[in-house]
Structure 1
């Protein structure tokens, strides 16, 4: 994966996190609503969307896909400092790169990671999972559960 592709992946992961926070939906719900075709499109237009605010891009996506407000308020429930959506986007980017092989379809990997158990664990800002090492997140994801 080259630097442009990594940057595009970071942007899309951050956008998914931003959408989840803004609409109070799990990140899995966001990727399910968007679908693989739209995730692929967002990767393709990420370089252009970098110039736009996340607010503008997310408003357009929310309107187009008619994303309704959910009940997963990871920010409102947080008792501590909330990590930025871009910090969480970076965690997802690293995890997706770490669990992907050269033969992996990146859209499939985005979809799978955000649909997995690890996504809600990362989004629980009252825990320390999002501060965990990339290796811990990778191995937990591959095992299908948080490792002790």
Structure 2
């Protein structure tokens, strides 16, 4: 996928990882699902953010988070992905962990005619995210090929 602002440059897998990580951070901060963040930012916004990711990753993540919330008019909700049953889930994955899970899922399921924006929109709008983001179960711990197979088969 070509960079929007520098057509000679490719958007790299690390840029996708950064955007997935920030989607997770922002969603947790405003207490919304990742799907809300992705859909509110939209295709054009995601393409812009992927194209700027190689620069944005050098910024303070708190500043980037606040900028996304302000720039895309993201509203607070009441969904807390970290509210888990302590007897079932002793460890809550970090936004970095979940960014990696989603980056790998997008990488493993993207079609030959799709770009990273298509992959983000497709994956984050899939029902499997409700299972992956349920930290009371262990779906997010599964190897990436297991998660990709579950995605393609319609569930775990």
Give runs of aligned pairs for residues 65-144 of structure 1, distance below 5 A. Answer: 65-77=72-84, 79=86, 80-144=90-154
User: 1:78–1:25: structure 2 CA closer, same or farther, 3 Å change rule?
Assistant: farther
Equivalent-residue separation in structure 1 for 2:142 and 2:78 (angstroms): 26
Max Rg structure: 2
Q: 2:19 aligns with which of 12, 27, 35?
A: 12
Find out whether 1:36 has 2:46 as its counterpart: no
Equivalent-residue separation in structure 2 for 1:24 and 1:105 (angstroms): 28
- In the superposition, the TM-score normalised over structure 1's length comes to 0.91
Where does residue 55 of structure 1 map in the other structure? 62
Equivalent-residue separation in structure 2 for 1:111 and 1:58 (angstroms): 19
Equivalent-residue separation in structure 1 for 2:85 and 2:72 (angstroms): 28
State the shift of 1:4 in Å.
Answer: 5.8
The number of residues matched between the two structures is: 146
Equivalent-residue separation in structure 2 for 1:112 and 1:101 (angstroms): 11
The answer to whether the 8 Å contact 2:11/2:51 transfers is no
Structure 2 spans left out of the alignment, 5+ residues: 2-9
Q: Deviations over 1:16-36 (max 9, x none)?
A: 111111111011111011001
Cα RMSD (Å): 1.8
Which has a greater percent of helix?
A: 1
